[in-house]
Homo-oligomer: A and B are copies of this chain.
């Protein structure tokens, strides 16, 4: 891998890493419904406010969310809605994994290549 290719994939990985946490995926899902202040999210998530704030800063640094301060509160929103497509495909993977465990329990070779075209799939 040359330097240019490497840095392309590093940039991409930085975005994916920012999403790679259950709490942050939950936040993205929430923000898909509309703006939320940190206190709203803190309540729904049930973690320390400082923890929620840190998760938000990770998402913000990656450019996935944006924020606006109004009065005492800071409101966060999704900057790039196509992030929501991730969920669709992830669900397809999860469905596949469920079937795999059901059908080929313990088998090493996983031959089938699966299309996620069933529903909500953009592939």
Contact with B along A53-87 (1 / 0, CB 8 A): 00000001011101111000000011111111111
Chain B residues with Cβ below 8 Å from A97 are 62-63
B12 near A16: Cβ-Cβ < 8 Å: no
Instruction: Flag whether A105 is at the interface (Cβ < 8 A).
Output: no
A92 to chain B, nearest CB (A): 6
Query: CB-CB < 8 A to A94: which residues of B?
Result: 11-12, 15, 63
Kindly provide the distance from the CB of A91 to the nearest chain B CB, expressed in whole angstroms.
Answer: 8
Q: Is the CB of A81 within 8 A of B123?
A: yes
Q: Besides A11-B94, A16-B20, A80-B114, 17 other CB < 8 A contacts?
A: A1-B44, A9-B26, A10-B22, A12-B87, A12-B90, A16-B19, A19-B20, A62-B97, A63-B96, A63-B100, A68-B109, A69-B108, A79-B96, A80-B96, A81-B115, A82-B122, A84-B123
